[in-house]
Amino acid sequence: MAVFKHTKLITKIVEEIKNQIIRGELQAGQKLPPQDKWAKEMGISRGTLREALNQLVLMGIIEMKQGNGTYVKSFTPSSFMESLSLALIMDKSSVSELLDARLCIESAVAFWAAKKATAKDLQELKKTCLQMREAYQVNNTEEFIKKDLEFHILIAKSSKNRVLMRVVQTIREVLYQFIADYFSLMPETMKNALNYHMRILKAIEDQNPEEAKKEMEAHIISLTRRLSNLHQDLAGPQIPNKS
Mean pLDDT of 143-159: 93
Among 23-27, 91-95, 100-104, 180-184, the least confident range? 91-95
More confident residue, 123 or 236: 123
User: What gap in Å lies between CA 171 and CA 58, rounded to an integer?
Assistant: 11
Tell me the C-alpha distance between 74 and 205, whole Å. Answer: 37
Which residues does residue 62 pair with via DSSP β-bridges, in sequence order?
72
Confidence of residue 83 (pLDDT cuts 50, 70, 90): very low
Q: Which amino acid is at 100?
A: D
Which residue type is seen at 190? M
Domains and CATH numbers, the chain: 2-80 (1.10.10.10), 85-235 (1.20.120.530)
CA dist 211 and 204 (Å) reads: 8
Q: Residue range 153-162: average pLDDT?
A: 94
CA dihedral angle for residue 146, residue 78, residue 69, residue 16, rounded to 10 degrees: -90
Round the CA-based radius of gyration of the chain to a whole number and report it. 18
Q: Tell me the pLDDT band of 90, cut-offs 50, 70 and 90.
A: very low
Angle, nearest 10°, between helix axes 190-205 and 209-235?
A: 160
**pLDDT at residue 75, rounded to an integer:** 58
Lowest mean pLDDT among 62-71, 114-123, 223-232: 223-232
Per-residue pLDDT reduced to its tens digit, 218-243: 999 988 887 776 655 554 444 444 44
What SS3 state is found at 26?
Answer: coil
DSSP letters along 85-145, please?
-GGGGG-HHHHHHHHHHHHHHHHHHHHHHHHH--HHHHHHHHHHHHHHHHHHHTT-HHHHH
The C-alpha atoms of residue 189 and residue 144 are separated, in whole angstroms, by 11
Contact 234, 109 (CB under 8 A): no
pLDDT of 117:
97
What backbone torsions phi and psi does residue 132 show, to the nearest 5 degrees? -65, -45
| pLDDT tens digits, one per residue of 167-217 | 888 788 777 777 777 787 777 889 999 999 999 999 999 999 999 999 999
Provide the pLDDT for residue 12: 85
pLDDT digits (tens, 9 = 90+) for 8-63: 788 889 888 888 887 788 888 899 999 999 999 999 999 999 988 988 887 778 88
Overall average pLDDT of the 136-148 stretch: 90
**Tell me, what's the pLDDT at 45?**
92
More confident residue, 101 or 202: 202
Q: Which long-range contacts (CB under 8 A, 24 or more apart) does 237-241 make?
A: 237/92, 239/92, 239/95, 239/96, 239/99, 240/96
The span from the CA of 117 to the CA of 54, in Å, is 29
Local confidence band at 89 (pLDDT 50, 70, 90 cut-offs): very low
pLDDT of residue 122: 97
pLDDT given for residue 1 in this prediction: 47
Note the residue count of the chain: 243
**Alpha carbons 122 and 158: distance in angstroms, whole number:** 8
Do 241 and 10 touch, CB atoms closer than 8 A? no
